[in-house]
Amino acid sequence: KDPRYIWQLAPSSVKIAVASCSSEAFATITMDGRLRVWSLVTGELAFSSSHLFLPYCCSFSRVGGCLLASNSSNQVALIDPRSHLHRVYTGHTSSVRCVTLTDDGLWIFSGSSSGDVAVWHVSEQASCVFFAAHVSTIRHCCVSPDNHMLVTSADDGSIKLWACILASGAKPSVTLKRTLKHHEVCVSSVVLLHDTLIAGALDGRVSVWDVERGVVVHELVMDGPVLTVQFIPKTSSVCVVCVGGVTHIFDPSKWVSLRRIHIPGIRFTSASITYSGQYLCFSATRSVARAFGDGPDCCVLDIRRNIPIVNEDGFIQATGWLRLRLWFMVYFKSSGVFSQLPFPLVRAISRYL
């Protein structure tokens, strides 16, 4: 399936870009609050929603292809692009900064800027529970595959593990199990793998925890502030995305870096990788214009082949000329061949290929 696609959704810049777990779809939310879902197979626009106001976060469910999104109006929205189902959950008293859906698709967890967590049943909103989890903004939350444990992380660097009892028709029960503290700054992303917890922070470090003992067993120093940490089931590897355009793929058994991908001249605002580990989807600040010439707002990068493709004013196939330019910048820069050259010179060379 060549070529791949990249989007530029003018006039409003893209705040969030996220890929589906199945590698079949890709969602963008622009600053005007418009949600769009694109097909990664055909490149066509599959779904477009009404305004969501200022968006804060968005994620795909692991199964079913549903989208969870939150906005500045203290709301959580569940959207099914196939059936056009759109449910809105209200009750938070401050902006919702993170949302996640359990693997069975029945429960929603959301964290707010006031430190509160809400647990919602997808179809029984009356069963929701609110509780104070942190004293600062909650940045990320995740749930174990068996729904028995919730992990939350906050701006103050704290990580909390919660024991959950979830049953349809009954109020959910959430009890604090353990508090972890290693970072002094915001923990931006957490991933729970059986008895191992992986946390990435804005201090540029990734801590690996033994959940049962509550101790750090390994620490990684990254290239800069960590934006997101994800597990890739197909390859049993861990992806760490840094704000400064650097992505690492790690083997979690030895914590050896399998690959380092550097896209120079950009700052990620959001990023996610598909469960197959093939596509890295990201949105970036306007500084991306200095790296890609015309400046796409969001991108899907085939990291197996290092092929990104840009469009302008919609969704088009890139020419071989443009693909060659971008391939040059991503592959050669990330491989270190031109690591000693200043970026403006690399950019100038690429423009004349």
Residue 4: is its pLDDT beyond 50?
no
Higher confidence at residue 308 or residue 158? 158
How far does CA 339 lie from the centroid of its chain?
Answer: 28
351, pLDDT greater than 80:
no
84 Rama class: left (phi>0) / alpha (psi -120 to 50) / beta: left
Mean pLDDT along residues 223-241: 93
- Using alpha carbons, select from 90, 88, 65, 71 the residue that is nearest to residue 30: 71
Average pLDDT rounded to a whole number, residues 102-120: 92
Q: Would you tell me how many other CB atoms lie within 10 Å of the CB of residue 254? A: 9
Rounded to two decimals, the pTM is 0.81
Q: Is the pLDDT reported for residue 323 higher than 80? A: no
The string of pLDDT tens digits covering residues 57-94 is: 888 888 778 889 887 788 898 988 887 778 889 889 99
**What residues contact 237, with CB distance under 8 A and at least 6 apart?**
231, 249, 250, 251, 252, 258, 277
Kindly provide the b/e burial profile for residues 175-186, where b requires at least 16 CB atoms within 10 angstroms of the residue's own CB: eebbebebbeeb
Q: Is 289 left (phi over 0), alpha (psi -120 to 50) or beta?
A: alpha
167 Cβ contact list (under 8 Å, min separation 6): none
Query: With contact defined as beta carbons under 8 Å apart, do 263 and 287 qualify?
Result: no
Kindly report the number of other CB atoms within 10 A of residue 336's CB atom: 10
Owner of token pair 């979830």: 166
* Residue 92 Cα to chain centre, angstroms: 22
Provide CB contacts within 8 A for 42, sequence distance 6+: none
Q: How confident is the model over 164-214, as pLDDT tens digits?
A: 999 877 889 999 999 999 999 999 999 999 889 999 999 999 999 999 999
Greater confidence (204 vs 310) lies with 204
Residue 50 predicted with pLDDT over 90: no
Pick from 254, 180, 256: nearest CA to 216: 180
115 token code pair = 């430190």
Q: What is the pLDDT of residue 293?
A: 41
Cβ contact 182:118 at 8 Å: no
Contact of 39 with 293, CB cutoff 8 Å: no
Average pLDDT score over the chain: 79
